[in-house]
Amino acid sequence: MKLSRWRNPLLLLLFSFFVIQVVAYKLYSSFWTTPPATQVNRNERIKRGWPEYTSGKRLDGTKHIIFIGTSQSFGDEIEDDKKIYPSIIRQNFLDEGIQVTLENWSLGGIRTVDIEMMLLKAIQKKPDLIVLALDVSNFDRNSNRNLTFPNTDVNLFLADPRIFSSMKNSLLNHPLDEDIRIRKIAERYLPLVRSRTKVHTQIAQEFDLTNEDQLFYFGNPVTRGVIPDINVVKNYRDVLMFRHRNTPYFIIDEQEMGEKYFAAKRFTTLLKERLKGSDIKVMYTWIPLSYQHWDKGEFNKIKKFRKTMKTWNAKEGIADYDFLEAISDSDFITVSHLKPNGHSKIAKLIYPAIKNELQ
C-alpha cells in the first residue's frame, strides 16, 4: 500500500518539489547571508569616497578633507566613480603633487539633523578642512521634515534599503486621493525613521548632548521616540502630489523660508561653538542648481537665502562660496544632478576655493 502511494505521479511530483525547495534554500543560505543594512549602504558608497574607501585615516604628510554634501556630490547617475567632482578634486590635488585624504560623505536628501550628526563625527576626526556642499532644501526647522522626508537616502544611518524598494513601488502604484493607502506607505517608512532615531540617539549619547540648545536633535519630537504619524501621512501626501504634477522642484512659502533661515543660521552658530579651540577650518560651497526647473520667483528666493547666509557666515567667520549659477543649465540632468561635464566644471571652481582655505 505504501509503495503504491509513492507510485502516484502527483504525490511523487509534490514530494520532489518539496525536497528541491529545501535543498535550494539550504544552498542559498550557505552562499548568501543578508548583510546588515549598514553594510549594504556602505558597500554602495565605498567607491564614492566614504571612509572605508579612503581607510578613514589621515596619512602622514597629507591634508585631510571631509566633504559633507548632497546627492549632487554623490552623483548617482555617473557610472564612473572617478568622474564625480569630489573625486576630480582629489585627483587635482594629486596632479599637483599635493597628498590629500579626501572623504566624500555625501548623501541624497540630507537633512539638518543628519548634517549635524555627521558634522560631530567629522570634527571628532580632526580634519584640516570640512566642506559643506549644501542647498536651501537641506535645512529644515520642522522636525517632521527633518526626519520623515520620504525620498532621502540617509538610510545609511542603519536603515534597511529594502524599505525604499517597496516604498518606490507604492509611490507609483497607489492613487493619490486615498488617505488610507498613503497611510500604508507612511507605515512602511516608520521603521526607517526609527532606525535613524536610534543612530541619532547613539551619537547624542556619545557626545553627551544634554542641552537643548546644542542641537536640533532635542527639538525634534521624532527623535524623542514620539512619531506623529498623522504628520508623516501629511508629508507623504504633499510629496506625492508634488511628484505627480508638472511644477518646479518645490515651492517654498514664506513661513517655510523663515524656518529654513532659522535652521541654517542656528546650524552655523552651533558649528562655531563646536569648533572653539580647534584648528579645523569649515567652508560652505552652496551647490549649483538648474534654473530652468524653477519658477522665477522661487529661484529669487533661493538667491536671497544664499545672500543672507553669506552675510551671516561672514559674521561668524566662516568661508562661503556660492555656485548657484556657476555653470550652464545644459550641464544638468535634473534640478541639481549633474552630467559628467557638469561635474568637471564645478570641480574646477571648487578646487581653487578648497586650496585657498587649506593655506
Taking only the tens place, the pLDDT of each residue in 281-324 is 999 999 998 887 777 787 888 898 899 999 989 988 899 999 99
Question: Tell me, what's the pLDDT at 59?
Answer: 63
pTM of the shown model = 0.66
3-state secondary structure of 328: coil
Query: Which pLDDT band holds residue 4 (cuts at 50, 70, 90)?
Result: low
pLDDT tens string 44-81: 554 555 555 455 566 666 889 999 888 888 887 787 88
pLDDT tens string 21-40: 766 655 544 444 433 334 43
CB 220 within 8 A of CB 117: no
Q: Does residue 151 have a pLDDT over 70?
A: no
Q: Rounded mean pLDDT of 236-240?
A: 41
Long-range CB contact pairs, 30-39, < 8 A, 24+: 37/155, 37/158, 37/159, 37/160, 37/161, 37/195, 38/156, 38/158
More confident residue, 348 or 218: 348
> Where would I find the beta strands (DSSP E) of 193-303?
281-286
CATH of domain 37-156+251-358: 3.40.50.1110
Question: Does residue 21 come out as left (phi exceeding 0), alpha (psi in the -120 to 50 range) or beta?
Answer: alpha
Q: Does residue 104 have a pLDDT over 80?
A: yes
CB 139 within 8 A of CB 70: no
Poorest-confidence range of 42-51, 83-92, 121-130, 220-229? 220-229
Q: Does residue 97 have a pLDDT over 60?
A: yes
CB 197 within 8 A of CB 115: no
Q: Does residue 275 have a pLDDT over 50?
A: yes
Q: Does residue 148 have a pLDDT over 70?
A: no
Mean pLDDT, the chain, rounded, equals 68
Packing angle of the helix pair 179-206, 161-173 (nearest 10 deg): 160
Percent of the chain topping pLDDT 90: 19
Beta strands 63-69; 129-133: pairing state: parallel
Question: Tell me, what's the pLDDT at 159?
Answer: 35
**Identity of the highest mean pLDDT range in 116-130, 143-157, 342-356:** 342-356
Question: Tell me, what's the pLDDT at 85?
Answer: 92
Q: Where are the domains of the chain?
A: 2-31, 37-156+251-358
pLDDT tens string 193-208: 454 555 555 555 665 5
Q: Rounded mean pLDDT of 78-106?
A: 88
Q: Does residue 114 have a pLDDT over 60?
A: yes
Q: Does residue 347 have a pLDDT over 60?
A: yes
